[in-house]
Chains A and B, each alone.
Chain A
Amino acid sequence: MSLFSGLGDLAHLAAIFLLLQKMRKSRSCSGISLKSHLLFLLVYITRYLNLFWSFKSLYFFSMRIIFICSESYICYLILQNLRPTYDKRLDTFRSGYLLGGCAILALIYPIKYSVFGILWTFSIWLESVAILPQLFMLQRSGEAETITAHYLLAMCLYRGLYIPHWIYRLAIRQHVMLVSVFAGIIQTVLYADFAIVYRRTVLQGKKFRLPA
């Protein structure tokens, strides 16, 4: 862990908090992609499988628990309590291709040929693209509530801050995983496009709206 990854993790927590806050206050999940959140849930489950037998520190242990629990809770809310407000007709991204593509990449080049190694690699690739159903949904509706835009920006910061973290690790000659770096860059680029629109709209006090 470094200052950058610590801040990145905090941005991730902030993103989850913002999303839950929005869902709780508005009693609605309109504009939120269930598909993206199911993918994120799969990301955390496959990555943190070793949660109970590989203890590193209280920090990592509790963050992992928080990510798995909060993501399960978000999916639960969309599927149960807030189901009537879920825009199913807008959430039509074909996530099967993402799952298939990530599975193939993980099988071809896992960090280690073991169940854990393959699942971990799968989770890294899947995380990099898991937001696509959400961005696709945004593209279809053309605008987002400001708070959804805040959520996406916080998620952009999260992986974006890992990039200086990896550079720092390289600088102090610590091991860096190439897969994480590649996937992390893809992930940040996907959000960055969105962040540019965010800067032009939300930061100028306007409603988040994609250019026509």
Chain B
Amino acid sequence: DTIQSIKDEL
């Protein structure tokens, strides 16, 4: 989901 993909980037 959205919040999960935030964690994939700096």
Contact = CB atoms under 8 A, between A and B. Distances in A.
A175 B2 contact: yes
Contacts of B4: 175
Interface string A163-182: 00100000000111100100
Given A67-B10, A174-B8, 9 more contacts: A9-B10, A54-B7, A56-B7, A60-B7, A111-B2, A111-B6, A116-B3, A174-B5, A175-B5
Contacts of B1: 175
A29 B7 CA distance: 33
Interface residues of A, number: 22
Interface in A34-93: 54, 56, 60, 63-64, 67
A177 B7 contact: no
Interface of B: 1-10
13 contacts: A1-B9, A12-B10, A56-B8, A60-B7, A64-B10, A111-B6, A112-B2, A112-B3, A116-B3, A117-B3, A120-B6, A165-B9, A177-B6
A60 B5 contact: no
Interface of A: 1, 5, 9, 12, 54, 56, 60, 63-64, 67, 111-112, 116-117, 120, 162, 165, 174-177, 180
Contacts of A176: 5
Contacts of B6: 111, 120, 177
Contacts of B8: 1, 56, 174
Contact of B9 (A54, A67, A116, A162): A162
Contacts of B2: 111-112, 175, 177
A63 B1 CA distance: 23
B10 A177 contact: no
